Chains A and B, each alone.
Chain A
Amino acid sequence: MNIFVQMWRSIFRTGFSDSPVHRVFRVMGNFIFHLHPARVSKEGIKITHTFCLGGLSAFFFVVTAITGGVLMIYYTPDVDKAYANMLDLENVVPFGMFMRNLHRYAAHAMVIVVPLHMLRVFLTSSYKSPREFNWVIGVGLLLMTFLLSFTGYLLPWDQLSYWAVTVGTTMAENTPILGAKGPFSVLGPETDVRFLTLGGTSIDQPTLIRFYFAHCIGLPGALVGLMALHFWRVRKAGGISRPL
């Protein structure tokens, strides 16, 4: 057999022969149908039942992940460079403003759509058995969404981000038990959760690099892991929940 023919045929996992059963295999057994169910209930695809909110959340995450990855090329998490990098992205880099705004608006949309998805799940009682634990995973996803939004806020290193993170981490300082100034505090100012997030006692270079790591690696990694679990459990519970 010709090597090119062999390479072409290797693409089709379920066999190349042009018989009706192999055509069905190619349609039903491919990767797209691994991600997307081959069979969906009639009520489940009714737009007013889900409003596509879960799918939109995932879609906005993919948009932020792609545009964010591209933005990383022009951004250095250095207190002397970060703000200038952001200005360069807006004014010098072709389509830089476009990529930054796509990232920004998709992030805003995600923060809006994820709680709406939660509201939909609540109102349609879709959190009930066997989906109870998937609600818990969803709460984790909501938390990750908020933390991604918060950590991304510091990266432009302008007045808005600096003081917003000042306020946010002072709130962390007042957390019960974990914060140095909160009720029932057990940790001092150099061991509490504020110190852990700032990498010191003030917002400076160690803070920027910590937030950059969390925003680009830590939190997206955790989010992707939880998303995989979330979608897998939706499928195992019988697909999109439908009216009873």
Chain B
Amino acid sequence: MLKPLIDIHEETAVPRRRVLGGVLFWAAWGVVAILGGVLGAGMLRFLYPRALYEASKIFKAGRPESYKVGSVNLVTGRGVWIVREQEGFYAILAKCTHLGCQPIWYEDQQVFKCPCHGSRFYKTGINFAGPAPRPLDRLQITLSSDGRLLVDKGKTVGMDYILKA
């Protein structure tokens, strides 16, 4: 005996109510996911401030004639050494190339020593002992228009860079 046509129709067709219900279900979860994503992304962005209240990377370091020939001078608060040699000036970033501690200049031994893990550097900044993988960063040093030394911590220069005196 054949079944009535109407029964076959009911078995294969998806009811409208079910389709709408499914759409609403996933739309609701979509809204939740979007809100969560926005909140999460907002939280992550929140951790990066727009303004930093840090010391400027560019600073003036006094008149060239105030530096004695052969001296290594730490500019306190800036973490930079200004070295005065016979031929001129160079600036070294006082940040160990191993893990970022501040080395100390030993005038009697003419070396920089890092107190954290014992790296040592010559006066030029070249590493010769300990775990430091490369020489200390040398920074751009120029003369400003008012005749004072101008150091830019944002610009590293080659090991042969010297500001002629």
The chain A residues found within 8 Å of chain B, CB to CB, are 163, 166-167, 169-171, 173, 190-191, 195-196, 199-202, 204-206
* Chain B, 85-125, CB within 8 A of any chain A CB: 99-101, 115-116
Residue of B whose beta carbon sits closest to that of A201: B54
Contact of B116 among A167, A169, A173, A199 (CB under 8 A): A167
B54 near A199 with CB under 8 A, answer: no
Q: Which of the residues B48, B54, B116 comes within 8 Å of A191, measured between beta carbons?
A: B48
User: Chain B residues with Cβ under 8 A from A206's Cβ?
Assistant: 49
Q: Are A196 and B54 in contact (CB under 8 A)?
A: no
Check B52 for interface membership: any CB of A closer than 8 A.
yes
Distance between A163 CB and nearest chain B CB, rounded to angstroms? 5
Q: Given A201-B54, A202-B54, A204-B54, A167–B100 Cβ distance below 8 Å?
A: yes
B79 and chain A: residue at smallest CB distance: A202
* Contact (Cβ within 8 A) B99 A196: no
What is the size, in residues, of chain B's interface with A at 8 Å between Cβ atoms?
11
In whole Å, how far is A219's beta carbon from the nearest beta carbon of chain B? 15
State whether the Cβ of B47 lies closer than 8 Å to any Cβ in chain A.
yes
Chain B residues contacting A199 (CB-CB under 8 Å) are 47, 49
Report how far A90 CA is from B155 CA in the complex, Å.
Answer: 44
A200/B101 contact (C-beta < 8 A), A167-B116, A191-B48, A195-B48 known:
no
Are B100 and A200 interface neighbours, CB within 8 A?
Answer: no
Which residues of chain A are within 8 angstroms of B47 by Cβ–Cβ distance? 196, 199
Q: What 3 A-B pairs are tightest by C-beta distance, nearest first? A: A170-B100, A167-B99, A170-B99
| B99 / chain A contacts, CB cutoff of 8 Å | 166-167, 170-171
Check A200–B52 contact: CB distance below 8 A.
yes
Q: Return chain A residues, CB-CB under 8 Å to B116.
A: 163, 166-167
Q: How far is the CB of B137 from chain A (nearest CB, A)?
A: 12
A200 to B47, CA, bound (A): 10
Contacts of A171 in B (CB 8 A): 99
B48 contacts across to A, CB distance below 8 A: 190-191, 195-196
What is the CA–CA distance of A206 and B49 in the complex, to the nearest angstrom? 10
* Residues on A with beta carbons closer than 8 Å to the beta carbon of B54: 200-202, 204
Q: Per a CB cutoff under 8 Å, which of A166, A204, A205 touches B101?
A: A166
